[in-house]
């Protein structure tokens, strides 16, 4: 569970910074201040970008919705530290009365926090009703080769096939193959649900999770290295599997994966279609501004954020060696400059299925409308929105907030059905 989902679309910044002196002690101090409700002191430990994203006034509200409901902190475990370039990522287990969580802090060389998360402990995933374990089997595979081999899982329907197949492409951040977020395992739900309905599914560890330190040390990393190359490698692997119809391979992207799916299609050149789940159609920095405005960020912090976004908009190719902005390296930002996902998808001239939760506060119905405007009324493009679903395609009531994410949940059955029917049509 992220302490602030405002930075969800920028969680790649977790891997784009550098190692703080005494990171374990720094993280423990931040945790103690958070639990002790000493928010002014905690705020002073934030990097400038994190101060912009989480204003001091927001800390009280965030703690009230995400920490206090967990009850008393009964015990605090030993910190685990790993390198991310010259930065450090520290994880400290905390046992609350209600549940266990992991406090995660990303710390730069100046000893500042540039990301702060509350992550759930291991989720006790329960198989959803639409998963029929007798209808599929699973086996381990390796996606890619060379220095970035990725462990994956292939979920195959029972029978000889050949079956249509889908590659699952992660959202922002160093996600695992199940795309575990809070109390959900979205990709595990999709894999078992779709395989139960006659679709082969390939999911794999994201490169930024499997090779975090190595990726953080890449000065010129772009979304090509983060996401696109591995997704193309995954579709290439599927074409070699005996149960797969090589002419019916699709890419399904969630969040950032949906945003970049048209570029994956361009690089692959042979996909049968794209499935976009809560994929933003706007630039990443525009989403951050919208989310920040919706969070009632104080005027001073909002002005500073707008200034940083203006710097992103003004970037030129010659700026590639400039310092990161909002946790993202400039080559990453330049690579996405002027990228228009719906326009790129339209150029690919392959079928597209666009799905959107109407309660999603991270990628909103504004983006859904932009996909519609960009792709139009082509007969090979289908749109579905779901009034009760959030960003993870889990059902709920009322306004969606980050407080929903820790709760156990599953991808809604209607989403599984709509994808399966479209792919097997």
**What domains sit in the chain, N to C, each tagged with a CATH number?**
5-120 (3.10.450.590), 133-281+340-423 (3.40.50.1820)
**Which is more confident, 323 or 415?**
415
Cβ atoms of 178 and 203 within 8 Å: the answer is yes
Supply the pLDDT for residue 2: 40
For 59-104, the pLDDT digits (tens) are: 888 788 778 888 888 888 888 888 777 788 898 888 887 777 888 8
Supply the pLDDT for residue 93: 85
For 309-357, the pLDDT digits (tens) are: 999 999 999 898 888 888 888 999 999 999 999 999 999 989 999 999 9
User: What is the three-class DSSP state of 373?
Assistant: helix
Alpha helices (H) in 116-179, listed in sequence order: none
User: What is the three-class DSSP state of 253?
Assistant: strand
Please state the pTM of the whole predicted model.
Answer: 0.78
Supply the pLDDT for residue 277: 98
Most confident by average pLDDT, 2-6, 150-154, 292-296:
150-154
**Which is more confident, 135 or 94?**
135
Which DSSP state fits 173? S
**What interhelical angle do 413-423 and 186-195 show, nearest 10?**
50
205's CB contacts (< 8 A; 6+ apart) are: 150, 151, 152, 176, 177
Cβ atoms of 313 and 338 within 8 Å: the answer is no
DSSP string, 21-83: SSHHHHHHHHHHHHHTT-HHHHHTTB-HHHHHHS-HHHHHHHHHHHTGGG--EEEE---EEEE
Comparing 6-10, 57-61, 206-210, the range with the smallest average pLDDT is: 6-10
pLDDT at 15 over 60: no
Q: In Å, how far from its chain's centre is CA 74?
A: 30
């Amino acid at each position: 569970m992220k302490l602030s989902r405002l930075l969800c679309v920028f969680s790649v910044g977790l891997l784009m910074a550098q190692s703080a002196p005494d990171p374990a002690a720094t993280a423990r101090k931040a945790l103690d201040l958070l639990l002790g409700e000493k928010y002014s002191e905690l705020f002073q430990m934030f990097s400038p970008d994190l101060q912009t994203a989480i204003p001091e006034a927001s800390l009280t509200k965030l703690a009230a919705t995400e920490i206090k409901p967990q009850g008393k902190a009964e015990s605090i475990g030993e910190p685990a530290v790993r390198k991310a370039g010259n930065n450090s990522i520290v994880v400290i287990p905390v046992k609350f009365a209600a549940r266990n969580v992991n406090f995660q802090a990303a710390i730069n060389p100046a000893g500042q926090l540039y990301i702060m998360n509350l992550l759930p402990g291991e989720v006790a995933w329960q198989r959803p009703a639409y998963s029929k374990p007798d209808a599929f089997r699973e086996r381990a595979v390796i996606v890619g080769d060379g220095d970035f081999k990725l462990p994956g899982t292939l979920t195959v329907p029972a029978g000889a096939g050949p079956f249509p197949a889908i590659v699952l492409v992660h959202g922002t951040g160093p996600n695992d193959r199940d795309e575990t977020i809070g109390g959900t395992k979205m990709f595990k739900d999709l894999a078992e649900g779709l395989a139960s309905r006659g679709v082969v599914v390939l999911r794999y560890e994201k490169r930024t999770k499997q090779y975090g330190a190595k990726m953080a040390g890449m000065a010129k990393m772009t979304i090509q290295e983060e996401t696109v190359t591995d997704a193309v490698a995954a579709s290439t692997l599927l074409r070699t599997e005996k149960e797969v119809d090589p002419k019916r391979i699709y890419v399904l992207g969630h969040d950032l994966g949906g945003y970049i799916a048209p570029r994956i299609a361009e690089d692959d050149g042979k996909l049968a279609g794209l499935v976009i789940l809560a994929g933003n159609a706007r630039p990443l920095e525009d989403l951050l501004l919208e989310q920040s405005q919706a969070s009632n960020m104080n005027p001073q912090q909002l002005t500073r954020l707008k200034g940083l976004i203006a710097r992103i908009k003004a970037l030129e190719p010659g700026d590639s060696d400039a310092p990161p902005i909002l946790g993202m390296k400039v080559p990453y930002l330049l690579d996405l400059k002027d990228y228009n996902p719906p326009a790129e998808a339209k150029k690919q001239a392959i079928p597209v299925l666009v799905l959107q939760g109407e309660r999603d506060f991270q990628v909103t119905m504004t983006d859904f409308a932009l996909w519609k405007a960009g792709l139009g009324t082509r007969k090979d493009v289908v749109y579905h929105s779901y009034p009760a679903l959030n960003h993870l395609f889990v059902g709920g009531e009322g306004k969606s907030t980050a407080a929903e994410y820790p709760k156990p949940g599953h991808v809604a059955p209607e989403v599984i059905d709509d994808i399966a029917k479209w792919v097997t049509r």
